[in-house]
Amino acid sequence: MMLTMEGVHAHYGHIHALHGIDVEVQVGEIVTLIGANGAGKSTLMMSLFGRPQASAGRIVFDGEDITHLHTHDIARRGIALVPEGRRIFPRMTVLENLQIGAAQADPANYDADIARVYAMFPILQERQSQRAGTLSGGEQQMLAIGRALMSRPKLLLLDEPSLGLAPIYIRRIFQIVRELNRDHGMTILLVEQNANQALKVAHRAYVLQHGEITLSGTGAELLASPEVRAAYLEGGGHA
Amino acid sequence: MSAVVFARHQITPAERLRDAGWVAFVALILGIPLIGLTTVDAGGSLEVSTRFGLLAACVVAAFGGRLGLRWMIDTMGARKLERQRADTGKSVGISPVKVVNVIGWIALGASIALPIMYSDNRYVVDTATTVLIYVMLGWGLNVVVGLAGLLDLGYVAFYAVGAYSYALLSTQYGWGFWEALPVSGGLAATFGILLGYPILRLRGDYLAIVTLGFGEIIRIILVNWTEFSNGPNGISSIPRPTLFGLEFSRSAAEGEQTFSTFFGIDYSPMHRLIFLYYLILVLALLTHAFVSRLRKLPIGRAWEALREDEIACQAMGMNTTNIKLSAFAIGAMLGGFAGMFFAARQGFISPESFTFTESAIILAIVVLGGMGSQMGVVLAATLLVLIPEFGRNFSEYRMLLFGAAMVLIMVWKPSGLLSHREPTLRLSRGGARNQDALEEAAQ
């Protein structure tokens, strides 16, 4: 088991955002978490990273309890985050962004890792000495993913990677998710509003509503489930 | 690039006049009590008299000034927009990095040659030494503000710590300049960490306020703890630095030699000034080499990443606590070295030299120069020291001139004189080839 969340509660000040979440991610899986705005998807993702720290429950990563570790220590255990809104370093160059991604990794792997990222995203190599803030939204998303991969993570968290992107980039992002998993054996936890696409790539999925998991199953099951269809796919969603 | 062309609203002359008219009106309202009315001494009692002629002149000046300023901002905005439109993405002409490098080498040559050319002009060498002290302070603060993005309004505190460490070590315990150098720097760095620790969770305005308070605390302690620092009277007869044991005085202490007798030349008070100048030049150059090197190391990149996005940094596994503390400590240490040199050069220090105005000027140097730009600091420090010096001819209008110059620079270059950020390139092998090809294509 790569990641287990058991009865996790989280608070933002007085707001009780997560009410006893149980989520499991197995090695080599793509697991997706879908839900409406404000359901607590991003909170769940960030509470994995200790921001905010779980107020109750347990988070176990790779056999180790990480519930009370600092954000940076959790990252060093081998979890990489592609944050919501990308959060690249805009005034620094593309290459510098990638170097920072590798800051905690073994320097011996640096050349191989950067070559791998450039092979996956040739546009980043073309733009490597350009300021990251001058890239288009889709290119910035690729940079954020590339930066996360530079640390050779065991688990990759993607928080709304398709948000605000042109349809051509959305397709490309989901294709990348699939390739990373299939060709590189990457375990991925994907948070998405774009439920249709997310369920298609995911092995398993969870539906989050008001801070609770209301449904879970394989991607195909949820895609076929009438409740999910009504709430997230046919109700004027992004599909 | 978006294909939409935004039409800029053309400002009509009538709008300009109306805008300037408003400013003149405000100036008039403010000016009536400030300029229009004045008290005169009429044989023991005060009488109010009026100066409406002067007031009218000031209002006209405000009107004209506003008109000119608006015009300047608009034409500059238009020219910039034109340049952006003309720019098709390819860099044409000389890269800004090269220009900055050339300026840097010229400045270095000039600073080495300066005391030789003006070897009998005390004023020039003294002023140049002051410029270099501010350059060094600017480079120190640049680490904290420019690179790590932590707004520090109390930087003068570390300058004071460095100065007082040397003053006390030398006058109380008989330490020499060179022995005290690492200790002063270390003490200042310790204070940097002391300040850094409680404010780790603060950002932006809140951080600025706390650092401002810290600067004041240090100054007030120095004023009031008389047994320790001799209070407002300061510490005098601080020993001057020596060159490998050679003193720069007319006659040496027992068992010591003076610089002039050792080299068999006539004693001149200029020797010491020139020595001090070269000393601060070397200290400043070492600072520059140190900071430039750090910038290219992971720690420097971590500082810049912290400035850009703290949460992303943590998600990359960076310990932001250590990154912030290291920025504060290194910035403070450099400020401490500058302070120590200041004490040794003046021979006398008092809390008067470490007021908030100093912090503000150092911060202005970093901001006017362009945050994070090393050469920008040199330019801005030179300007900010020289403008008040030239302004001496205008006596009481000196600070007015100084303020006006700062406003004009910020209007002309809102992101600083040299705002170009040089990447800390370390190209991968595959990338290096690619980069060479790009550069060849550009040439």
CATH number for the domain harbouring residue B273: 1.10.3470
Let me know whether A148 and A158 are in one domain: no
Let me know whether A239 and A128 are in one domain: no
What's the gap in Å between the CA of B261 and the closest CA on chain A?
55
Let me know whether A214 and A138 are in one domain: no
pLDDT for B93 beyond 70: no
Let me know whether A124 and A40 are in one domain: no
**pLDDT for residue A40:** 87
Q: How far apart are CA B429 and CA A114, in angstroms?
A: 10
Write the single-letter amino acid at B360. Answer: A
Check CB contact under 8 Å for B426 and A95: yes
Fill in the DSSP letter of residue A132: G
Let me know whether A171 and A69 are in one domain: yes
Extract the tokens encoding B300: 């420097």
Among the partner-chain residues B307, B315, B425, the one whose CB lies closest to the CB of A81 is B315
Let me know whether A122 and A181 are in one domain: no
Q: Is residue A83 part of a domain?
A: no
Q: Is residue B433 part of a domain?
A: no
End residue of a domain, out of B86, B107, B131: B86
Which residue segment(s) compose the domain that A67 sits in?
1-78+154-239
Let me know whether B76 and B186 are in one domain: no
End residue of a domain, out of B86, B115, B147: B86
Write the single-letter amino acid at B134. Answer: Y
Q: Is residue A19 part of a domain?
A: yes
Let me know whether A74 and A179 are in one domain: yes
Among the partner-chain residues B307, B312, B319, the one whose CB lies closest to the CB of A87 is B312
Contacts of B230 (CB under 8 A, 6+ apart): none
What's the gap in Å between the CA of A212 and the closest CA on chain B?
25
**pLDDT for residue B441:** 43
**pLDDT for residue A92:** 92
Let me know whether A8 and A25 are in one domain: yes
Confidence band of B327 (pLDDT split at 50, 70, 90): very high
Let me know whether B67 and B137 are in one domain: no
Extract the tokens encoding A149: 């991969």
Let me know whether B298 and B149 are in one domain: yes
Q: Is residue B346 part of a domain?
A: yes
Let me know whether B152 and B263 are in one domain: yes
**A149-204 pLDDT per residue, tens:** 999 999 999 999 998 899 999 999 999 999 999 999 999 999 998 888 999 999 99
Adjacent-strand bridge partners of B258:
B247
Q: Name the 3-class secondary structure at A64.
A: strand
The count of domains in chain A is: 2
Quick check: B62 and B27 in contact, CB under 8 A? Answer: yes
Among the partner-chain residues A92, A103, A125, the one whose CB lies closest to the CB of B316 is A103
Per-residue CA distances from B418 to A93, B265, B281, B384 (Å)? 18, 44, 22, 15
Let me know whether A169 and A53 are in one domain: yes
Let me know whether B329 and B197 are in one domain: yes
The count of domains in chain B is: 2
Q: What is the value of pTM for the model shown?
A: 0.83
Confidence band of B50 (pLDDT split at 50, 70, 90): confident
Fill in the DSSP letter of residue A194: -
Q: Which residue has the higher pLDDT, A112 or B258?
A: A112
Let me know whether B60 and B129 are in one domain: no
Contacts 24+ apart (CB under 8 A), B216-224: B216/B154, B216/B356, B217/B157, B218/B154, B218/B157, B218/B160, B218/B161, B218/B191, B218/B354, B219/B156, B219/B157, B219/B160, B219/B351, B219/B354, B219/B355, B222/B160, B222/B164, B222/B351, B222/B354, B223/B351
Let me know whether B49 and B111 are in one domain: no
Confidence band of B139 (pLDDT split at 50, 70, 90): very high
Q: How far apart are CA B320 and CA B317, in angstroms?
A: 9
Among the partner-chain residues A88, A95, A104, the one whose CB lies closest to the CB of B317 is A104
What's the gap in Å between the CA of A7 and the closest CA on chain B?
24
Stated length of chain A: 239
End residue of a domain, out of A104, A130, A152: A152
Q: Is residue B427 part of a domain?
A: no
End residue of a domain, out of A110, A127, A152: A152
Q: Is residue A49 part of a domain?
A: yes
Among the partner-chain residues B316, B421, B430, the one whose CB lies closest to the CB of A75 is B316
Tell me the range of B84-88, B161-165, B422-426 where mean pLDDT is highest. Answer: B161-165
Closest residue, chain B, to A72 (C-alpha): B317
Confidence band of B213 (pLDDT split at 50, 70, 90): very high
Q: Is residue A179 part of a domain?
A: yes
Query: What element of type H or E holds B203?
Result: none
Q: Is residue A203 part of a domain?
A: yes
pLDDT for B430 beyond 50: no
Check CB contact under 8 Å for B430 and A115: yes
Contacts of B9 (CB under 8 A, 6+ apart): none
Confidence band of A39 (pLDDT split at 50, 70, 90): confident
**How crowded is the C-beta side of B254, counted as CA atoms within 13 Å?**
0
pLDDT for B74 beyond 90: no
pLDDT for B345 beyond 60: yes
Confidence band of B437 (pLDDT split at 50, 70, 90): very low
Q: Is residue B258 part of a domain?
A: yes
End residue of a domain, out of B86, B108, B140: B86
Q: Is residue B402 part of a domain?
A: yes
CA angle, A142 as apex, A137 and A145 as ends, to 5°? Answer: 125
Let me know whether B350 and B277 are in one domain: yes
Q: Which residue has the higher pLDDT, A181 or A39?
A: A181
Write the single-letter amino acid at B100. Answer: V
Pairing of the two strands B257-258 and B246-247? parallel
Q: Which residues of B touch A72 (CB under 8 A)?
A: 314, 317-320
Let me know whether A72 and A162 are in one domain: yes
Extract the tokens encoding A96: 């510098």
Q: Name the 3-class secondary structure at A188.
A: strand
Q: Which residues of B touch A125 (CB under 8 A)?
A: 430-431, 434
Let me know whether A163 and A143 are in one domain: no
Let me know whether B259 and B212 are in one domain: yes
**pLDDT for residue B86:** 66
Report the pLDDT averaged over residues B188-208.
90
Q: Where are the beta strands (DSSP E) in chain A?
A: 3-12, 15-25, 30-34, 56-61, 64-65, 79-82, 155-159, 187-192, 204-209, 212-218
CA angle, B204 as apex, B202 and B207 as ends, to 5°? Answer: 45
Let me know whether B317 and B380 are in one domain: yes
Confidence band of B91 (pLDDT split at 50, 70, 90): very low
Quick check: B22 and B63 in contact, CB under 8 A? Answer: no
Select the residue from A79, A84, A89 to test the B interface by mutation, using most B Cβ atoms within 10 A.
Answer: A89
Which residue segment(s) compose the domain that B263 sits in?
99-412
State chain A's maximal CA–CA distance in angstroms.
Answer: 51
**B251-287 pLDDT per residue, tens:** 776 667 778 778 878 788 888 889 999 999 999 999 9
Size of the A and B interface in Cβ pairs below 8 Å: 103
Residue with tokens 């073309």, as numbered in its chain: A126
Check CB contact under 8 Å for B320 and A126: no
B135-139, B228-232, B431-435: which has the minimum mean pLDDT? B431-435
Confidence band of B410 (pLDDT split at 50, 70, 90): confident
Select the residue from B2, B314, B316 to test the A interface by mutation, using most A Cβ atoms within 10 A.
Answer: B316
First to last CA, chain A: 32
Fill in the DSSP letter of residue B252: P
Q: Is residue B438 part of a domain?
A: no
Q: Name the 3-class secondary structure at A219.
A: helix
Report the pLDDT averaged over residues B102-122.
89
Q: Is residue B424 part of a domain?
A: no
Q: Is residue B425 part of a domain?
A: no
Let me know whether B164 and B312 are in one domain: yes
Let me know whether B48 and B193 are in one domain: no
